[in-house]
Chains A and B, each alone.
Chain A
């Protein structure tokens, strides 16, 4: 938007005549970080109200900078699952329950000690000893681990090939640094000993800095000499204003009308990339009539104009979601070609009425009346502060109203939403589906009947409570499959279930809101080069940071 003109109002700031000069000289202090082209400035963690120093890579409250310091074995792209190797050079399944990683030689910790298989084994055993650290649920699947020489072997309890993605992403810590830590759950790790491209330099309550690790095994691939993380404000609108000032090389935030509000402020350097990172859907409670009727669900699905919904919800930044359950184009290679139109449903009132009729519902006087003589109703619950979900639900309500369903919206705080959805006491709910970059994980979390707990027994996964033995069978096959064609066949079967049985009415893709400036560094992920998501709060940062080049 408008450029900052710091001097203009100095004289006019009457309320503050006393401090006028101080205000003028002191206010526009841009973080000195963006000055040198060697500094990469990343819009950092939310400082609420100030940052709490914590780089423990297993803590949910760790500062994002830890992703540039600790390395895992490999990082799969959340887009299509392609691996970027870090502490491992590769992996293979010797059988569906045995996973063997080859570890990278000649890696040193930032304190100069050598990295070895013992560190990897130590890390995994640490997660076993302290389940609170095991955020990826490793030990629910893994029976044992062992390291020897340059290999690290993981034995699964039962075949689970796709779970390699979780094993690969565990950040590896140094045994010599962590073995003496009494309580690793509360440990704040303010002097991290790491293998990654950066080490901790300075920490202040509203900004911390990392400096390049000279010992890094691929130091030649690391361009920035320094990374600065200025804290975000607790006020989201302020953060958006802050982003437009151009002080960040890499920011992550939804921003309205991005072309005008961000790109045009410096069109030579400001770019954005908003790829799909998840799918937003209308979850119908499958334990309740009429939502347990597949024809009714199909009717709902066909009544919706998903293009309009995406337009209302996410400014049309993202497209309507494919009913195959896959995020497209990210997972295009897994898409069953026999699914019509890539799974994109076109709104069709006539088709919808046919399906509603099959479910015993007929349009009478503008109302969809069931065989019990009552109008079909639906209450959609969603957290009131998820504005895109609310906007989508409003459009859904309007469109379902046109086919005769009486829809009302319930917009509580997240906690109540979560109680209703997890307990299965809702009618319909807005929710997220998929987004891991791996079809098995997505379908397993969303459709596996083992998650479909009884009503009132909370479950986060599959909270719509879908149960289909053929799905469980396909998931089992996919978990055990190591050869690509078997994997594809199992995935296709799951897509068919998704498309034909509509366990979730998928609506539109949720975005990943990457905002970049290329005046200091180039090589950001983009539609042309979609090597990872633009999330600056996940391990995707490590992948990005080792690919950046200097702009000059």
Chain B
């Protein structure tokens, strides 16, 4: 028996939770739904995760209803430039005469998209490679570890800069790809080393001896024991993606026509908003990025508790 399920805390819902996280579930849809519901309740019961969920939900709402919330077009250059906050331009205007508040509202769309999508892509890659490498010692492990190490040793940000330049199109999807491509390796390595440790544990060995298939052992026995690592991988990758997007755009390597928190910062730097006394142009987008990243991390605390009842708040 697993170390985890032997603890006398709530029913052993762990495998289902893992299915919810990795979408690797078998044909148990109603069960999965129930598990997701229970997982959500567990998350919600965690104070920190609740705050994170509320922040993310608010941002998602803002992103969805951006046209209703923003009182101007985010791209129209029709206002007097370098305006301080006033009745019409609540956060002031940029040097190009754009409304900053509207840009902040629409910017939520890009940051959320980049964070969630590249976080997911990076995690899927990391889990697949990490698990296979960790569970199959020998040539497979060596090959995959080799690949992982290779990606790891190339410095991340310069690699992103080069790729962003090379891919020419500077759309949001380019950034998502670049970020996902460069940020799976850390997760894969951590997952692999945990899998290596787990592989030699008794319960895995016994599962193997009882003739279970590889994917079953991996997904039913090993994965559940590292849900917190996988989740941590996802939220770390999502956080990194939000930051990387902001960094690339701040460097001017994003699409300058995209309205995102990163490009607001880029233009704030270009037009030196601090010099013109427009602190909000620097402060607001950075804070929004920080809030989103904080929210991801806070939810992470709750996710840890999902797979690891010991982490639950009392």
Contact = CB atoms under 8 A, between A and B. Distances in A.
Q: Do chains A and B touch in the complex (CB under 8 A)?
A: yes
Interface of A: 1, 237, 240-241, 244, 255-257, 260-261, 312, 315, 384-385, 387, 390-391, 394-395, 398, 409, 411-413, 416
A256 B275 contact: yes
Contacts of A394: 77, 96
B276 A260 contact: yes
Contact of A412 (B82, B97, B168, B269): B168
B275 A240 contact: yes
The 8 closest A-B pairs by CB, nearest first: A385-B252, A261-B275, A237-B272, A387-B270, A257-B276, A240-B272, A237-B269, A384-B256
Given A256-B271, A256-B275, A256-B276, 12 more contacts: A1-B275, A237-B272, A241-B275, A256-B82, A257-B276, A312-B77, A315-B95, A384-B256, A390-B256, A411-B256, A412-B168, A412-B170
B287 interface: no
Contact of A255 (B77, B168, B269, B275): B275
Contacts of A384: 170, 252, 256
Contacts of B95: 256, 315
A1 B272 contact: no
Interface in B53-109: 77, 81-82, 95-97
18 contacts: A237-B269, A237-B274, A241-B274, A256-B82, A256-B271, A256-B272, A257-B275, A261-B276, A312-B96, A315-B81, A384-B170, A384-B252, A387-B271, A391-B96, A394-B77, A411-B257, A412-B168, A416-B168
Interface in B259-292: 267, 269-272, 274-277
B170 A409 contact: no
Contacts of A1: 275, 277
B147 interface: no
B23 interface: no
**Interface SS of chain A: helix, strand, loop or mixed?**
helix
B154 interface: no
A1 B95 CA distance: 17
A257 B92 CA distance: 15
Contacts of A390: 256
Contacts of B140: none
Contacts of A244: 275
Contacts of A255: 272, 275
Contacts of B269: 237
A511 to B, nearest CB: 15
B157 interface: no
Nearest to B267: A387
Interface in B108-156: none
A411 B271 CA distance: 18
Nearest to A411: B256
A312 to B, nearest CB: 6
B311 interface: no
A275 B252 CA distance: 28
Nearest to B271: A256
Given A384-B256, A387-B270, A390-B256, A413 B275 contact: no
A255 B274 CA distance: 12
Contact of A395 (B77, B82, B165, B276): B77
Contacts of B253: 413
Contact of A257 (B82, B170, B274): B82
A89 B95 CA distance: 48
Nearest to A383: B252
A411 B277 CA distance: 28
Nearest to A394: B77
A244 B82 CA distance: 18
Contacts of A411: 170, 255-257
Contacts of B274: 237, 241
Interface in B235-253: 252-253
Contacts of A387: 267, 270-271
A1 B272 CA distance: 12
Contacts of A260: 276-277
A385 B96 CA distance: 14
